């Protein structure tokens, strides 16, 4: 694909009403120390952020930056070539960064394309899953993670499996859908969005096959369309959540978050980080404190990466530092995501969230949970009934391929814990902000929605 076409795609995605299904117009990852140019291995790349004015072709110039037709180099970095934008490339990019979608996942004709989150922040690479089995593996190995993103990934896995199926009859396709759904359902047990998405795709399949005279190909097309619709809905929900949650953030000061509940955990924008993004866009002067989130380090690797990507001031804390920072008055609010919310308001989220909530309560700091409605599980009465995934011991015993613990030592590695509802100040959803008592609030919102 030519650079001119890539630039055209970037412009098209800014048109009103244009639904974005992943940032396919990436020319490169962005660096923060010059004008967007960086070296990566044996090749060099440049990123054109969404909304950044540009003319002509975009290509790699020697040393850094952009080149337009006629050979005139544009950069504005310390190489001394100046900038036609009046600001450095990086400063100009920061003004537009909140418009840009981080490419968590994307449907393509070849399969589902994922940003490999296991390699961030030092390496931006992509994984193309060409079968539903490969989609399941991407979920299990945490190439993609975060409850909303897992849900849409599962939907795309179903769509991809059906698209690739050799079934010639609806009866054969029905057996295939059950098989595909069962494989995807076995990947990760805690994130309810996974099961919500599989159920929704199953219901759509039943509705499609009940149509008189419907063909197998029409069913395939209908399931792909449903998965893409869920993708768009997720982005819209995150932005609406951000609008509801922004007024709850302090006008100025520190906000603590745990794990990564940002664009990387969704199809774009984020839940907890979406609230922060919306608050910053509304003029709040926030400094984010990101718990490193052991053992997988989602906060240190992912939250820090995407917030720096947006130019939002960020400091990484070791998980055992939150209490001292709260006592020092540096934390004014806490906002986290969720993998499942029970009917009574108990919240399952990344391991360590419970401890943060207790500390916030002790220090009189509001503790907010931001999650889409698909994360709420009204069929689960309390957090005691939420299944907690136990992950491999190697995530604790090893780091970077090096063993850190003695041979034979016992290891526990629950991926999540449950925060009792009494510690939750409010739950932010795309339908509105809920406050205790949560059982009544959730039921009331269900009734209002119906």
Write the pLDDT tens digit of every residue in 301-324: 999 999 998 999 999 999 999 999
The residue among 321, 284, 281, 279 whose CA lies nearest residue 299 is: 321
For residues 446 and 437, the answer to whether their CB atoms sit within 8 Å is no
What residues have CB less than 8 Å from 357, skipping those under 6 apart? 334, 367, 419, 423, 424
Instruction: Answer yes or no: is pLDDT of 139 > 90.
Output: yes
pLDDT-based confidence at 190, cuts 50/70/90? confident
Q: What pLDDT band is residue 399 in, cutting at 50, 70 and 90?
A: confident
Q: Measured between alpha carbons, how far is 64 from 67 in angstroms, rounded to an integer?
A: 9
Give the number of other CB atoms < 10 A from CB of residue 115.
Answer: 23
CA dihedral 99, 100, 103, 106 (to 10 degrees): 60
Q: What is the pLDDT of residue 366?
A: 98
* Cβ contacts of 58 within 8 Å, gap of 6 or more: 3, 6, 7, 27, 46, 48, 66, 67
CA nearest to 145, candidates 301, 268, 264: 264
**pLDDT category, 100, cuts 50, 70, 90?**
low
How confident is the model over 204-236, as pLDDT tens digits? Answer: 999 999 999 999 999 999 999 999 999 999 999
* Catalytic entry in 310, 339, 346, 417: 339
pLDDT above 90 (res 126) = yes
Scanning the structure block, which residue is given the tokens 């240190």? 300
pTM of the model: 0.76
pLDDT, residue 18, reads 31
DSSP E strand boundaries for 124-193:
126-129
Domains of the chain: 1-100 (no CATH), 105-239 (1.20.120.420), 240-449 (3.40.50.10470)
Q: Is 116 a catalytic residue?
A: no
> Which tens digit of pLDDT belongs to each residue from 260-280?
999 999 998 999 999 999 999
The residues, any chain, with a CB within 8 Å of residue 328's CB and separated by 6 or more, are none
DSSP 3-state assignment of 413?
Answer: coil
- pLDDT per position as a tens digit, 45-89: 223 222 222 222 222 223 333 333 333 333 333 333 333 333 333
CB 89 within 8 A of CB 75: yes
């Amino acid at each position: 694909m030519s650079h001119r076409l890539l630039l055209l795609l970037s412009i098209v995605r800014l048109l009103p009403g244009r639904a974005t299904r992943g940032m396919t117009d990436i020319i490169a990852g962005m660096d923060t120390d010059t004008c967007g140019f960086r070296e990566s291995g044996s090749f060099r790349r440049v990123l054109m952020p969404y909304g950044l004015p540009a003319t002509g072709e975009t290509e790699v110039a020697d040393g850094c930056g952009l080149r337009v037709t006629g050979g005139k180099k544009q950069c504005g970095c310390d190489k001394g070539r100046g900038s036609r934008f009046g600001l450095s490339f990086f400063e100009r990019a920061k003004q537009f960064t909140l418009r840009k979608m981080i490419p968590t996942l994307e449907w393509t004709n070849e399969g589902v394309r994922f940003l490999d989150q296991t390699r961030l922040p030092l390496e931006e690479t992509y994984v193309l899953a060409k079968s539903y089995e490969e989609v399941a593996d991407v979920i299990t190995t945490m190439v993609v993670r975060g409850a909303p993103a897992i849900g849409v990934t599962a939907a795309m896995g179903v769509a991809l499996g059906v698209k690739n199926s050799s079934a010639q009859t609806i009866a054969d396709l029905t057996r295939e859908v059950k098989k595909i759904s069962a494989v995807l359902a076995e990947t990760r047990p805690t994130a309810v969005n996974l099961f919500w998405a599989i159920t929704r795709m199953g219901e759509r399949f039943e509705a499609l096959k009940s149509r008189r005279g419907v063909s197998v190909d029409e069913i395939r097309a209908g399931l792909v369309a449903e998965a893409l619709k869920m993708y768009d809905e997720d982005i819209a929900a995150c932005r609406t959540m951000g609008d509801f949650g922004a007024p709850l953030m302090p006008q100025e000061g520190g906000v603590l978050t745990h794990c990564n509940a940002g664009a990387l955990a969704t199809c774009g924008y984020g839940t907890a980080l979406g609230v922060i993004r919306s608050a910053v866009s509304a003029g709040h002067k926030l400094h984010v404190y990101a718990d490193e989130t052991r053992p997988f380090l989602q906060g240190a690797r992912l939250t820090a990466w995407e917030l720096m990507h947006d130019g939002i001031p960020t400091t990484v804390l070791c998980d055992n530092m939150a209490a001292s920072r709260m006592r020092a008055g540096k934390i004014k609010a806490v906002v986290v995501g969720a993998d499942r919310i029970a009917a009574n308001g108990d919240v399952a989220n990344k391991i360590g969230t419970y401890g943060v909530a207790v500390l916030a309560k002790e220090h009189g700091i509001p503790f907010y949970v931001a999650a889409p409605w698909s994360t709420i599980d009204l069929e689960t009465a309390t957090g005691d009934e939420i299944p907690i995934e136990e992950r491999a011991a190697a995530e604790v015993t090893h780091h970077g391929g090096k063993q850190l613990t003695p041979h034979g030592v016992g290891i526990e590695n629950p991926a999540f814990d449950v925060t009792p509802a009494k510690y939750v100040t409010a739950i932010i959803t795309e339908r509105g902000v809920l406050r205790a008592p949560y059982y009544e609030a959730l039921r009331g919102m269900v009734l209002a929605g119906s």
